[in-house]
Amino acid sequence: MKKFLTLLLALVMALSIVGCGKTENQTDDKDTPDEGGEDVVSVAMTHEEFEAAELDSVVTVETYIQARQGWWEKDGVGVATFYTQADDGAYFLYNMPCTKEAYDSLLVEGAKLRVYGYKTEWQGEVEIIDATWEVLDGDTKTYEALDVTSLLGTDELIAHQNEKVAFKGMTVAASNDAGAPFLYNWDGSGSEGDDLYFNVTLNDTTYTFVVESYLCGPGTDVYEAVKGLNVGDVVDMEGFLYWYNGTNPHITSVVKAAA
């Protein structure tokens, strides 16, 4: 009897430990495309086909992660936003559902993904939303930034939307009437930890670039570099050619240009 009770108590303890364990958040895939058939899942589009696809249509692409914003939970579902690129173009994966574990170990810079989701456009930015993904093993790639300085202000620039790009030899201009070299948020209403907005000029035209805090927050080289800028500095920059009612690059690197 004593042995029976001992075994029973051990079983109860084991059950209680199981009951204390967390339930893994299930990714809600209600919005994700149906796995309707071979065409949707296995055949990736070229970037040209992606560009030609209608808005709100299902798209399948293969692409490499170049950078990622922080992971967070939206309505209890883990999501993150990824800047990705393939040989023929780039894709912005907005709020793609993923667990924290996957974000930490699988969805890393250089990883190759097959992604299928919906093509959409928000304020001029073409992106893929409500996506599902799989990592394609054995192949990783990061791209060099393409110098698009000469394309600024031209209609050709948008062809490189979401790509890793570089801007060289631009001059820091004042961001407000007080002569600030940068602002927290677009109008200075923010504080440490918020996005950094700064103006740079080329050929007498001023452009506003941003350090997206979810991508490169306080403590990163670029965040601290922008805080250290002075009006008149000539800088070389790299980033991703994000679009928001026009050119709005998310800058990941700022260095003062060689004299």
CB 185 within 8 A of CB 193: no
CB 27 within 8 A of CB 99: yes
**99 touches another protein (CB under 8 A):** no
**191 touches another protein (CB under 8 A):** yes
**12 touches another protein (CB under 8 A):** yes
Structure tokens at 137: 């093993």
CB of 56 to another protein, least distance (A): 4
Contacts (Cβ under 8 Å, ≥6 apart) of 186 = 195, 197, 208
Please give the Cα distance from 118 to 9 (Å, whole number): 53
Task: Indicate the helix (H) or strand (E) that contains 136.
Answer: strand 125-140
**153 touches another protein (CB under 8 A):** no
CB-nearer residue toward another protein: 121 or 139: 121
**8 touches another protein (CB under 8 A):** yes
Size of the site for another protein (CB under 8 A): 35
CB of 72 to another protein, least distance (A): 9
CB-nearer residue toward another protein: 118 or 167: 118
**DSSP class of 182:** -
CB-nearer residue toward another protein: 14 or 159: 14
Contacts (Cβ under 8 Å, ≥6 apart) of 103 = 68, 71, 78, 80
Interface stretch with another protein, choices 97-105, 157-165, 184-192, 235-243 (CB under 8 A): 184-192
Task: Indicate the helix (H) or strand (E) that contains 71.
Answer: none
**221 touches another protein (CB under 8 A):** no
Please report, as residue ranges, which positions from 110 to 129 form the binding site for another protein (by CB under 8 A): 118, 120, 122-123
Structure tokens at 63: 């692409």
**188 touches another protein (CB under 8 A):** yes
**37 touches another protein (CB under 8 A):** no
Please give the Cα distance from 146 to 142 (Å, whole number): 12
**246 touches another protein (CB under 8 A):** yes
Per this entry, what is the length of the chain?
Answer: 259
CB-nearer residue toward another protein: 140 or 201: 201
CB 251 within 8 A of CB 210: yes
**242 touches another protein (CB under 8 A):** no
Q: Is the dihedral of CA 101, 102, 107, 108 positive or negative?
A: positive
Catalog residues that contact another protein under the rule CB under 8 A: 1, 5, 8-9, 11-12, 15-16, 18-19, 28, 30-31, 55-58, 75-77, 118, 120, 122-123, 185-191, 194, 244-246
